[in-house]
Amino acid sequence: MKTLYPFLFPLLLVGTAAYAHAPAGSVGIGTTTPNPKAALDISASDKGLLIPRLDSVQRTGISAPPDGLMVFQTDGRKGFWYALGGRWFYIPDKTKTGDNLGNHTATQPLRYSTNDADKIYFTQGGGANGSKLSHSTGGQLDYYAGPNNANVGVHRFFTGTALGWQERLRIAASGNVGIGTVNPQSTLDVNGDVAVRGQALLGYTQLVTDQNVLGNGLKNIILSCPGGMRVLGGGGGHRDFNSAVKDITVNYSGPDPADPEHSWRVTVTNASSSGRAVRAYCTCARLQ
């Protein structure tokens, strides 16, 4: 004989209202007409879907997570994470200003897919685009300091010390480069000693002139360096190094007293009654 329990019928009716199974195989919770394109259709007006909540250790402890597995992380970088290809990916909150890229440890290199274009913009105080990092044709990595307007930009390079950050090098808006100075006054302005372990190309130039000294005469020969150059040294004497060399006396060879930084003077006398050829020279370089 079968025994019936009348009090079970209300519970069965409640379960039937809360759960529906459509002919197409869709399951509905809170709806009797689940969407036929959904395997599970949940409907509610005062409740949400609460997926498993794990901390970062528990999440990463899941071995070989299948694609599409999702959890809510409760510590560290809180939020929704999903698995793909055996790795976990965070779903960022795009409604916030910026995506807070610097607020976590990247596990992959930051890669840009666009070719030869601006990559990173730094927003200045007024909200306009300021300095930027770009990549252009020919494998060129371009750095821009400041916006392309009336506001000047300056490249500054710092190193950390026991006293804090110290500026070591600066490229001013004028293009002048300063090392050890924040106000470079020349194309390269170095405040300190410079050691050169190789050739220093200083714009070296040598000036040479051949002149005739009359018999029993005296001659002053002055050589002046080109603009922007300074005299390093010089000399002079008989040009031909023959027996007539004894007739020429170099009375003075040194910086010209009238312009000692840029000119060299050679003063010679000729003891012969005949004219003699002499040569004078000076060396110049771009020095200050």
Given 145, 167, 190, which residue is the final one in a domain? 190
Give residue 76's domain range: 53-94
What percentage of the chain reaches a pLDDT higher than 70? 81
> Does residue 267 form part of some domain?
yes
Find the range with the poorest average confidence among 12-16, 200-204, 206-210, 281-285: 12-16
Distance, CA of 49 to CA of 37 (rounded, Å): 19
> Does residue 148 form part of some domain?
no
Q: 63 in helix, strand or coil?
A: coil
Give the single-character DSSP code of 15: H
20-29, 139-148, 210-219: range with highest mean pLDDT: 210-219
> Does residue 87 form part of some domain?
yes
Q: 117 in helix, strand or coil?
A: coil
Q: What is the pLDDT of residue 11?
A: 42
Q: What is the mean pLDDT of residues 70-87?
A: 93
Per-residue pLDDT tens over the stretch 174-228: 899 999 999 999 899 999 998 989 987 778 899 999 999 999 999 999 999 999 8
Please, are residues 124 and 115 in contact by the beta-carbon 8 Å criterion? no
- Which CATH number covers residue 218? 2.60.120.510
15 pLDDT exceeds 90? Answer: no
225 and 161 housed in the same domain: no
Distance, CA of 266 to CA of 270 (rounded, Å): 13
Task: Pick 140 or 112 by higher pLDDT.
Answer: 140
> Does residue 119 form part of some domain?
no
Please, are residues 29 and 21 in contact by the beta-carbon 8 Å criterion? no
Please, are residues 265 and 254 in contact by the beta-carbon 8 Å criterion? yes
Distance, CA of 251 to CA of 213 (rounded, Å): 13
* φ/ψ of residue 194, rounded to 5: -120, 125
Q: Which amino acid is at 155?
A: H
> Does residue 147 form part of some domain?
no
254 and 274 housed in the same domain: yes
How many distinct structural domains can be found in the chain? 4
Distance, CA of 24 to CA of 159 (rounded, Å): 67
210 and 186 housed in the same domain: no
260 pLDDT exceeds 90? Answer: yes
69 and 17 housed in the same domain: no
Per-residue pLDDT tens over the stretch 89-137: 988 766 555 555 666 666 777 777 667 776 777 776 655 567 888 888 8
Nearest to 219 by CA among 253, 261, 262, 260: 253
> How many Cα atoms are found within 13 Å in the side-chain-facing hemisphere of 91?
12
Distance, CA of 275 to CA of 244 (rounded, Å): 10
Chain centroid, CA 91 distance in Å: 30
210 and 280 housed in the same domain: yes
Nearest to 231 by CA among 268, 259, 269, 201: 259
> Does residue 120 form part of some domain?
no
